[in-house]
Amino acid sequence: MARWNPPMAWGAEHLLEPPREQEKLAALRFALALHERARERAERERLAAALAARPEMRNAWLRRLVLELRRG
């Protein structure tokens, strides 16, 4: 959610403040809502079930991820 910061803008005063544009604030609110929802056990279980149904479950890394999601 940072502003574009090319080398020629380094040190510019406007980069010292966090972005307050409406679209960035809306994106941050959406990200917070996703984060809060992901903290719910039921949501993690739905994700784990969806992942477990994938053929990629043959990979150990995905099995570990599903186990972590289910443990909470």
Q: Which of 44, 51, 39 is nearest to 69 (CA)?
A: 44
Looking at the chain, the whole-number percentage of residues with pLDDT higher than 90 is 69
| Total domains present in the chain | 1
Cα angle value 43/47/54 (rounded, 5°): 165
Is the predicted pLDDT of residue 2 greater than 80, yes or no?
no
Q: Is 46 a domain residue?
A: yes
| Domain extent at residue 53 | 41-72
Q: Is 45 a domain residue?
A: yes
Can you give the pTM of this predicted structure?
Answer: 0.63
Q: Residue 25: how many CB atoms within 10 A of its CB?
A: 13
**For the residues 49-56, what does the mean pLDDT come to?**
97
